[in-house]
A and B are shown apart, each in its own frame.
Chain A
Amino acid sequence: MATVLVLQAALQGLAIGAIIALIALSMTLLFAVCGLVNFAHGDFLALGMYGALLLAGVGVDPYLAAPAVLVVFVAIGALLFVVLVRPVQRSGLLAGAQLTLGLVFILENLMLIGFGGTHQTVRNVLSDRNLSLGGLVLPWQLVVAGLITGVLAMLLNIMIAHTSFGRHIRAITQNPDAAALMGVRINRVQMTAFALALGLLGLSGPLIVGQFTLTPDMGLDYTLRALIVMVLGGLGNFVGSFIAGLLVGVGESVATLFFGGAIGAMVPFGLLLAVLLLRPTGLFAQR
């Protein structure tokens, strides 16, 4: 019986880990091509969930809402880059951090104005349905969210590793001047990366919304996890972020099973401390 429980926790953790991994990957994408740490990342995810809430109000299931929110978020991403990020980009890392920190307050308060401060939930077609496998019981919506985000995260990694667009992204990460001298249009790649990263958040939000209770200030928690995963995986390392995301998910879930939720919630931070002490360049550091 104990093994079944552990297996259940591990599978659940894997699904949550896949979600965290995708969020961290899209954050890594922005860091890699723009040198920007997006502190508002979790808030954009929250905005995506509220988008699903809004559409659920007119009878659209979150699973159907996901593509629509994706499209809107792609546009938001491109606009964000052109209007806000590009102008401050040359002023350095700190200006970028100030910009995204400012966005945190703007987004959280806009959501507070628009949707109120009460806790809200969104139901979808799979709510309250469970997948029973042997002795295992998993909520269907977690299985679906984990599978889709896991597949997307893997596709993103394949794109980075094997397409010419991915090669341009890595070139900019490794040496932006050399990339420009090869004819990579850096602005264009950065704008596409922004659209893609925000698009992934817009897609993820509705997919995972059924699992969460919405509050306007929920975003920071996801930003923190994504940041932790990004550092664990080695800054700018895409495969590292993916594996670290799964690790954090499984670690937290299994620790919660054995030691309770309070200890479980400490796992990501404990991992971060341990890695920073023992391997400060990340678990999967690259030369």
Chain B
Amino acid sequence: MLQICELEAGYGQYRVLHGISLHVDEGEFVALLGANGAGKTTLMRAVTGLIPKAAGSVLLDGRPLADDPADIVQSGLVLVPEGRMVFPRMSVRENLLMGATVPRAHAARTRQLEMVLSIFPRLGERYAQLAATMSGGEQQMLAIGRALMSLPRMLMLDEPSLGLSPIMVQETFAVLKQLHASGLSLLLIEQNVVASLEMADRAYVLENGRITLEGGHAELMGNDRLRQAYLGL
């Protein structure tokens, strides 16, 4: 489904990603693990077209992805950005409608809105409320709901557990499992290693702008380096 080949990107002269290659198959749930500063968010910004790629390519269904963020969303690759980035002075309703901006999603917005509100009933209760006045957990639900409004064929999430209470993290991850079960392809970027490995089919480990490990749950949990670096075992 998604294939990233030898991707390099950075800011100005400063290169952050040194040739990232990874892939997510149709219907697969892949986790990308890495500490702060490993390059996770830069990778997401490069894949979604917010910053230019210095080298390498990103393919969706075997076809090269466009450069313009709007075209990328239209083709079905959608990101829930780090820090949620909901529109603070818009209501829940308006935030969700913002998700249905591209033509493909706009045409299906009524049906999709029902679907999102059935996954997140809380958003229905807060429908007219300004996003800024909601809790972090509710804002994360809104960010995911808004991304679902874009009709993703593949959803990427950049540290959705950041700053959430343990209960909200559990709730968020439960939603991800539910979306995975419904057939959506997922790329989850996390520092929360144990929980991510439990949910995901496969995982990559990103360190200093390079992929250093790759494998399934059992493989990675049995890997001494990973256990040392992230679990302190």
Contacts and interface: CB of A to CB of B under 8 A. Distances in A.
Interface of A: 164, 167-168, 170-171, 174-175, 177-185, 286-287
Nearest to B133: A287
A125 B78 CA distance: 57
23 contacts: A164-B101, A167-B90, A168-B98, A168-B101, A171-B90, A174-B90, A175-B85, A177-B85, A179-B98, A180-B49, A180-B50, A181-B69, A181-B73, A181-B79, A182-B99, A182-B150, A183-B70, A183-B102, A183-B105, A183-B150, A184-B101, A185-B68, A286-B89
Interface centre among B50, B81, B101, B105 (most CB of A within 10 A): B101
B162 to A, nearest CB: 16
A181 B50 contact: yes
Interface in B56-98: 68-70, 73-74, 78-79, 81, 85-90, 94, 97-98
B134 interface: no
A182 B98 contact: yes
Contacts, number: 64
Interface residues of B, number: 27
Contact of B94 (A167, A178, A179, A181): A167
A164 B90 contact: no
Contacts of A181: 48, 50, 69, 73, 78-79, 81, 85
Contacts of B97: 164, 167
Contact of A167 (B85, B98, B102): B98
B88 A183 contact: no
A171 B131 CA distance: 12
Contacts of A171: 87, 90, 98
Across chains A and B, which 7 residue pairs bring their CB atoms closest together, nearest first? Answer: A183-B102, A178-B85, A183-B73, A183-B101, A183-B70, A180-B69, A174-B87
Nearest to B74: A183
B40 interface: no
A161 to B, nearest CB: 10
Contact of B81 (A167, A170, A178): A178
B132 interface: yes
Given A174-B89, A175-B85, A185 B94 contact: no
Interface centre among B69, B98, B105, B132 (most CB of A within 10 A): B98
A175 B73 contact: no
A182 B132 contact: no
Contacts of B48: 181
A1 B53 CA distance: 73
Contacts of B202: none
Interface string B84-126: 0111111000100111011001000000000000000000000
Contacts of A170: 87, 89-90
